[in-house]
Amino acid sequence: MRIPIVKPQTLNLQVWFLTVLACYAVLELSFNHRLLELAGDLQLATTPEQLHDIELWGRVVSGLGLALLLMRWFDRFVKSRVVLVLLCCTLGLVSMWHFQKALVDTIVSRADDQDLMMSWRSQLSTQEALNGRMQLRGETLLSSPAPADIRPVMSALWASSLAGLSPDDLDAESGSAQLVGGFFAPTITPEQLSAAYRKTVMTPVVLGASLLFGLLNLCQFFAGVIALVLALTRHDALLLRSKSWLLPSLTALCMGLSWWPGNVWTNSPAYQQVARPALWAEKPYLAPFVEWSLRAEPAWADSVAWVHSALLQDYEFTLPFRGIFSSESLQHLTVAKNGR
């Protein structure tokens, strides 16, 4: 009599759990694309409400991602599937909600006048950076316009990558950019400066966290599909041998493909010698999120755009029940609107 080596109730072999993982991957990739659209809006048409909604969505998406990882880890200790789902969702959503809020609020509260002005000036210089007409302390950023695969993330995170620098470190090569950044710079209120800096901090934190959980759960999905196929085809010996290394190997491969190749932006002298060291020195809590996002997001740019457009029909990720978050909404949106 054949004795199965994998229990039928093993979570990673359950079709419903694999379906949830697939749905989460669609949600997370689509969310990342929408976040890049809003944070990288060069026409400044993004409203404070949209940024507020996408920040709250980011906490939920990351919380669900953490919950799915916790389900796999706690599966051996919790017998009831209902209790497992409720417990992990509660832990994941609550922890990521408060962690991201506390981190963003703390970094924003410690900003000085130079941080606020640098964030605003760097956002104004985004188009020049994309066109390859920007230097940092004399170091070359791009020798030509930014390629298509990094334009979305560069539009969204250009200001974040410069958070450790000062306005004097920006060297615009075009005359129009020098005028905009100098005598003809637009008038800016303190409220607008604060809103711009919050966006500078919020974007990499939300993007980096959601991208990390998205890739980890994508690896969990593919590992589960492979294991399920092996179990259904009765390859028990191969399944037994692969149990300990399949998921870690897929995770290492995915993270390696996301991190190591880099791109023309992260490999440029301006980033390697100026922006990156300054960011880690001046903003050590923000730097890991910026570094991870700059390297990993371009590697999946095409997939992110296709999933959002084809599968979620360009869903805008607005807040369905704004009244539930009224106190936080009033706190953030009132400040932003006063400057408009």
If one counts every other C-beta atom within 10 angstroms of the C-beta of residue 133, the result is: 18
Give the model's pLDDT for residue 39: 94
Contact (Cβ atoms closer than 8 angstroms) between residue 304 and residue 29: yes
Give the model's pLDDT for residue 185: 58
For 39, half-sphere exposure in the C-beta direction (CA atoms, 13 angstrom radius) is: 33
Give the model's pLDDT for residue 173: 61
Give the model's pLDDT for residue 69: 97
Read off the tokens for 56.
């709250």
Give the model's pLDDT for residue 325: 53
Contact (Cβ atoms closer than 8 angstroms) between residue 159 and residue 122: yes
If one counts every other C-beta atom within 10 angstroms of the C-beta of residue 306, the result is: 13
Give per-10-residue mean pLDDT for the chain (340 aa): 49 93 95 94 85 96 98 91 96 98 96 93 91 90 90 95 93 54 64 92 97 96 93 86 91 92 90 96 96 92 85 87 54 52
Rounded CA-CA distance 298/149 in Å is: 6
Indicate the pTM of the whole model. 0.88
